[in-house]
Structure 1
Amino acid sequence: MPKKTDRIIVIDIESTCWQDKPPIGQESEIIEIGICTVDVASGKRLEKESILVKPEKSQVSEFCTQLTTLTQAQVERGISLKEACTILKNKYQSQQRIWASFGDDDRRQFEKQCQSKKINYPFGSRHINVKTLFAVIHALPNEIGMAEALEKLNFPLEGTHHRGGDDAWNIALILSELLLKSRGSYGGQCPP
């Protein structure tokens, strides 16, 4: 299959979490997949989607609800991770396109869960870590969080922080800004 570079799929996941260690028999699982596609040529954010995923080995804790606003009742109406991965592959062509996340945790969580549930990994090998890219391009001594990166760019955080769809939308804005600014330094052309 040919690799496509026309769009980048920005992903942000929310997972079950606890203030301390998970209760015995429970493990952190994806409960929301936020998706925002970015048109590479224009830098425009094209669409935003949130897919709720029903956890199989954990419950949404009160701490998790306070952080994400997601409740157990909401995620109970979600789909399986396998169905969510099928949507990523079919609707977003995730195996042919570049995908991005803010940091490496989301990539690792996807890999871990797909492996443990014996689900085909929905992405190709081309991943952009926007958190690292932002720090390198801005010559920061350390990586910073998404909200702080938006602040440095003078953009407001849109929506609810720690909701997958809203965070993917905000990460896509950061990525778009990095794409467009990098082209501006060379007048849209690659340096000699």
Structure 2
Amino acid sequence: MGKKLDIIIIVDVEATCWSESPPPGQENEIIEIGICTLDIATGKRLEKESILVKPERSTVSEFCTQLTTLTQAQVDTGISFAEACAMLKQKYLSHQRVWASYGDYDRRQFERQCQSRQISYPFGTRHINVKTLFAIVHGLSIEVGMDEALQLLNLPLEGTHHRGGDDAWNIAAIFSELLLKRPIQK
């Protein structure tokens, strides 16, 4: 099975979270998978999707709703994590394409959750950490958050921050600038 290098899949996940430690018996779980496909040749963002995932081992806290705007009622309408992983493979060919996220949290969360659920990991081995790449390309001494990277590139933050689909769309804009090698505004 060959690698497809036409499109990069930009992924951003939102997970159940709490202001402190998870309540007893609960754990961080993916509740939204944001996806934006990016055409490598043109740097154009092609589509944006938000997949809601129903948590099995946790509930959405008030803190989580304040951060993401997602409610328990909304994620209860979602699909299972297994169905979401199958969808990534079928619709986006995620196991054959390069994928990227802003930082390593999203990759590690997928790895942990797939392992704990004994679900096949939906991605191939080629992952790009856009946060690190951005800092290296622009000679920054530290990595910066997505919103600060957008500001440095003089790009607007589109949509709602901490919503998977919108964050994936914004990360794709940053990655597009890196692909097209445009300098940051100093």
Q: TM-score, normalised by structure 2?
A: 0.97
1:176 aligns with 2:171: no
Instruction: State the partner residue of 1:160.
Output: 160
Instruction: State the partner residue of 1:190.
Output: none
Instruction: State the partner residue of 1:45.
Output: 45
Show structure 1 runs of 5+ residues with no match.
185-192
Task: Give, as a single letter, the amino acid of the residue that structure 2 aligns with 1:124.
Answer: G
Give the greater-gyration-radius structure (CA): 1
- Matches of 1:160 and 1:74, distance apart in 2: 16
What is the RMSD computed on CA atoms of the aligned residues? 0.9
Q: Map 1:101-140; keep pairs closer than 5 Å.
A: 101-140=101-140
Pairwise CA distance, 1:181: 1.1
Task: Give, as a single letter, the amino acid of the residue that structure 1 aligns with 2:117.
Answer: K
Pairwise CA distance, 1:86: 0.7
Instruction: State the partner residue of 2:12.
Output: 12
- Matches of 1:6 and 1:107, distance apart in 2: 21
Task: Give, as a single letter, the amino acid of the residue that structure 1 aligns with 2:38.
Answer: V
- Matches of 2:95 and 2:30, distance apart in 1: 19
Task: Give, as a single letter, the amino acid of the residue that structure 1 aligns with 2:124.
Answer: G
Q: How many percent of aligned residue pairs carry the same amino acid?
A: 74
Q: State the number of aligned residues.
A: 183
- Matches of 1:108 and 1:119, distance apart in 2: 14
**Residue deviations 1:141-191 (CA, integer Å, cap 9, x gap):** 000000000000000100000000000000000000000117x9xxxxxxx
- Matches of 1:21 and 1:95, distance apart in 2: 33
Pairwise CA distance, 1:91: 0.4
Task: Give, as a single letter, the amino acid of the residue that structure 2 aligns with 1:96.
Answer: Q
Instruction: State the partner residue of 2:144.
Output: 144
| Partner-residue secondary structure (3-state), 1:139 | coil
Q: TM-score, normalised by structure 1?
A: 0.94
**Residue deviations 1:4-41 (CA, integer Å, cap 9, x gap):** 11100000000000000110000000000000000000
- Matches of 1:54 and 1:117, distance apart in 2: 14
- Matches of 1:87 and 1:27, distance apart in 2: 23
**Residue deviations 1:115-153 (CA, integer Å, cap 9, x gap):** 000000000000000000000001000000000000000
Show structure 2 runs of 5+ residues with no match.
none
- Matches of 2:128 and 2:28, distance apart in 1: 23
- Matches of 1:23 and 1:116, distance apart in 2: 18
| Partner-residue secondary structure (3-state), 1:8 | strand
| Partner-residue secondary structure (3-state), 2:166 | helix
| Partner-residue secondary structure (3-state), 1:109 | helix
- Matches of 1:78 and 1:136, distance apart in 2: 37
- Matches of 1:170 and 1:154, distance apart in 2: 12
